[in-house]
Amino acid sequence: MIQLRQMTLARGSQPLLEDVDLQVHDGWRLGLVGANGSGKSSLLAMLRGELQPELGECEVPVGWRIASVLQETPALPQPAIEYVLDGDEQLRSIEHALAEAQHAHDGERISLLHAELEAVGGYAARARAAALMAGLGFGSDDLDRAVAEFSGGWRMRLNLARALVSRADLTLLDEPTNHLDLDAIVWLERWLAGYPGTLIGSPTTVSSSTAASRTSRTSPPGRSRSTRATTAPSRNSGPHSWPCSRPCTRSSNARSPT
């Protein structure tokens, strides 16, 4: 599980969260509530390892894959579906190793890597990515179009698909519906309802994805000394066998796609 212990987080000289205690168990959905500037996005950035707490501890399970939606997308010549598939880093790592083994004519290594590829669903990866893109409003003719050919709003949808395809243990969604129409929002809610990992993000997305959500409120220092998850465990919670934890300094409109 994720644990924050007496954690203080700041941006520059401005404290955002002070003396926070929080536990998020595997499989929980946690919605973050707070005014603009209260520290919601900074908390997600800390979980991604982009910020460090000023005081206290932030721990996440070793080996967890973390997915979040990129806020910018360069004008790439890369086909859209390949850009989306890049979100599955484990898949890409196996594919890269397989290409090297084939170049070296290493038959034993090739056999082992094909087994790994099958274990992560690599042979169905393109179909899985295409299904995600279809749910977010892309047509079949959009799959092989260059990323650069899409407008900013549609590139954000590509970023969302890239996050969802990753098979992450922890998904961080900060206002993911800003560039979605109603059909895509409904599809996303249904997809998240079946997501087996831990989900942290905006409360509208999180609460609509499960009947047993949790809400954590972020408040300016002095008004609230701690932040805690509330309500009963969801259907996904329970004992898990993660061996240990480490600090969060770790080391991820109307349609007109033009």
Q: How high does pLDDT run on average in the chain?
A: 82
Measured CA to CA, the distance from residue 86 to residue 76 in angstroms comes to 13
Q: Which of 248, 38, 217, 69 is nearest to 153 (CA)?
A: 69
| Residue predicted with more confidence, 222 or 254 | 222
Encode pLDDT of 52-110 as tens digits.
Answer: 899 999 998 888 999 999 988 889 999 999 999 999 999 999 999 999 999 999 999 99
For 203, residues 6+ apart whose C-beta sits below 8 A from its C-beta are 31, 32, 33, 213, 215
Better-predicted residue by pLDDT, 172 or 219: 172
Q: What is the pLDDT of residue 217?
A: 56
Sequence-distant (6+) residues with CB within 8 A of 239 are: none
Q: Is 168 helix (H, G, I), strand (E, B) or coil?
A: coil
> What is the reported pLDDT for 61?
87
Taking only the tens place, the pLDDT of each residue in 108-164 is: 999 999 999 999 999 999 999 999 999 999 999 999 999 999 999 999 999 999 999
| Single pTM value for the model | 0.79
What is the 3-state secondary structure of 209-258?
A: CCCCCEEEECCCCCCCCCCCCCCCCCCCCCCCCCCCEEECCCCCCCCCCC
